[in-house]
Amino acid sequence: MNQQHWTRDGELPAAPAGPEAAPPAPGSLQALERVGQTQLPDADTDLYCITIIGQIEGHLVLPPQNKTTKYEHIIPQLVAAEQNDKIKGVLVVLNTVGGDVEAGLAIAEMIATMTKPTVTLVLGGGHSIGVPVAVAGRYSFIAESATMTIHPIRLTGMVIGAPASWEYLERMQERVVRFVVDHSKISEAQFRELMMKTGELARDIGTTVMGKDAVRYGLIDDIGGIGKALAKLRELVDASAPPPQTPPQKPVIQ
């Protein structure tokens, strides 16, 4: 049985210092809640990583059981990365099923218009409106096991049966096609053929493109994973860095 030894003042002595008695740091508890581990790698780097996972959430809030990426969270991160002088390049990692068209296009436009080098990497899947986001960087990679689903824009819920509704849908489709064609090497005819192909998907028209096929079509630049993506981003950062300035030489006085 453990006995407690009291001091003269009638108080218990302080607990002995040691790793078992020391409480966890507040930062460790937050890391445990967020990523499931207490020790995180050092983030002292000039490359910034943004992840787009699950479903891209737009103007409507999705059910809580859906894993989502909110565009109002991604856009401020891109603005902050653009303004931060310490950040030299941005890596965008995608594993998304798609989502809101306008939200996806907004994120894609933000990535495409950044002045700093950007590299995109598709892991798992970059489907639907994730395709414009995947091609928005200066260079794009896709894992060999990843896929990209290309299909026409679809509407869910009640639709007003008027000619203007179908005209709006066609114009929105044209925005997606134009962005993908302008930011990749795929031709418009090839992209539309993949989009309107029948028999590839179970309940819809469209095409599921594997990693190597995405590169073959010109949709994605290269096959690769995180190592090749970071190496390419570092190459782009070094290429965009201004040359070192040599101090002016003073004239020699004889």
Catalytic site residues? 128, 151
Q: Which parts of 127-247 are beta strand (E)?
A: 139-142, 147-150, 207-210, 222-223
Q: Which parts of 127-228 are beta strand (E)?
A: 139-142, 147-150, 207-210, 222-223
Q: Specify whether the CB–CB gap between 206 and 195 falls below 8 A.
A: yes
Residue 44 is classified by DSSP as -
Rounded Cα–Cα distance for residues 168 and 60 (Å): 19
Token couple for 86: 């310490």
Burial label, 145 (beta-carbon count in 10 A; 0-12, 13-18, 19+): exposed
Rounded Cα–Cα distance for residues 52 and 145 (Å): 18
Rounded Cα–Cα distance for residues 58 and 43 (Å): 29
Nearest Cα neighbor of 189 from 197, 208, 204, 171 is 197
